Structure formats: C-alpha cells, structure tokens
Amino acid sequence: MPISLEEILKIAHLCRLEFDEEEAKKFSEELSKILDYFETLQTLDTQDVPPTFHAVKLPTPYREDEVKTFDNIEGLLANSPKVKDNMIVVPKVVKAPS
C-alpha cells in the first residue's frame, strides 16, 4: 500500500515534524513496506488463536509488603527546602471545592 509524499508531509505536519524531501521519500518507502506487511498479516486465519497481552508469558513478580524503618531521617530532611515536625512541607496542589 503505497503512501504518497503528500501524505507523509501531512502526517509530519500533524506531528509537528519537519522533513526535507529526501527524508520524506525515505519514510514514504518505509511506511509503505510496513503497511504491506500488515496487509499480509490480515490474510492469516487467527480465529482459533487466543488473544495475548505479552509476547513472552512470564509470571508477575509479587512480593509481600513489609514495613521498613528509615534510620537517617535527619539526612533526608536536610535536603528538603522546608520541614515541619519531621515532615517535608510541599505546596498545596488540590483546590478545595467552592
């Protein structure tokens, strides 16, 4: 499925990209090859193929939550611009409903 040079330049404009004519021609050829490959994939019978979310099936690595203490609280707070009662003070980011 060939993509014209005009289509490449329109896509580039929408993506806020700038290509010279040589680059646009190269992308036109490459994207045309990619779309041709997708057309080939469309001809495959995938009726009995179960959907997958990952190419390689790996178990999700879970671990138990475990509370740990932090021994150097003074060192951590020393890097903070504003501290109050051993807590880092940050600007309010949520506006209360009016």
* CA quadruple 10, 16, 30, 40: dihedral, nearest 10: -70
Q: How far is CA 90 from the centre of its chain?
A: 28
Confidence of residue 36 (pLDDT cuts 50, 70, 90): very high
Contact 83, 89 (CB under 8 A): yes
pTM: 0.46
CB atoms within 10 A of CB 24: 20
Residue 76: predicted pLDDT: 85
Model confidence at 95: pLDDT above 90: no
Residue 30: predicted pLDDT: 93
What Cα–Cα distance (Å) separates residue 44 from each residue in 33, 37, 49?
Answer: 18, 12, 11
Residue 53: predicted pLDDT: 75
Model confidence at 59: pLDDT above 90: no
Residue 37: predicted pLDDT: 93
Model confidence at 22: pLDDT above 80: yes
